[in-house]
Structure 1
Amino acid sequence: MSLRSRDVISGKEGRLFLDGEEMAQIKSFEATVEKNKEEVPIMGRRMMGHKTNGASGSGTMTLHKVTSQMVKIMIDYVKTGVDPYFTLQSVLDDKTSGRGTERVTLYEVNFDSAKVAGLDAETAALEEEVPFTFEDLDLPEELRSDFN
């Protein structure tokens, strides 16, 4: 089977939800799982072996500055000491590709930092970049079975 250009999925056909509420101000979003590995020396081999012993999740989202949502989250933490955790769901649905809808859900999302104030006379549209970590993730069963 050959690749058809229409099957390439457009990243513009996506949406992001924070605890079930759509984040209309999202500009870009990326989440990555990185495997934690330890080196395993093996007798008789010059190359080092590697054993996976866990994983960690992190990511970044870039937002158009249209609300004070991230500022409020950080102020609430600073004032109360309660560190909030969220669920993020990325929905990718390019109707032209024919691939179907992909929903990746991230659990126990915790924001690392957020810009609480910023001015820029040379920028027409302010943005904020928000790094985060997450502790679990899921993909609907029907999409996971696509890989088997």
Structure 2
Amino acid sequence: ELEHPGTLMVATERGKYYIGGKVYGFELPTREFDCQTPAEVREMLPKDKDVVAFQCRNPVHRAHYELFTRAAHDERVGPDATVLVHPTCGPTQGDDIPGDVRYRTYVVLKDQLNDEKIQWAYLPYSMHMAGPREALQHMMIRKNYGCTHFIIGRDMA
């Protein structure tokens, strides 16, 4: 079904050939919203402390808010834990809220919270709704960004 973003990408955007190996000389793409590299995000996070990643693909609602604001105080993380709110802001299905609109909602909430234990970064990546394997992929992505713990929603299938 071509309405699924992953299927559409594979069917229409992928080429016949793929290359491998080290890549040199590319610049970071220009985006409509601020995106930091994994190294830049790791630099802003505390060293040797737990970092809880919160991933979402939609504007934050009350349940999301409660999850990530309480996460830094959970008994399963250290006393000086930080939360990284790290939503995906890439292209989505046609009936989803566009990434730039979602980004603007996150900026408003970030400004309202103004909490030093909650950091914000934006992932220019699309959810493919591919189930448990994609959930593991997102966990590895967040580990590359410096996170030690991961909160993921129910909607990965």
**TM-score, structure 1 normalization:** 0.25
**Comparing both chains, which one has the higher relative contact order based on Cα–Cα distances under 8 Å and sequence gaps of 6 or more?**
2
The structure with more strand, counted as a fraction of residues: 1
Find the structure with the greater CA-based Rg. Answer: 1
The structure with more helix, counted as a fraction of residues: 2
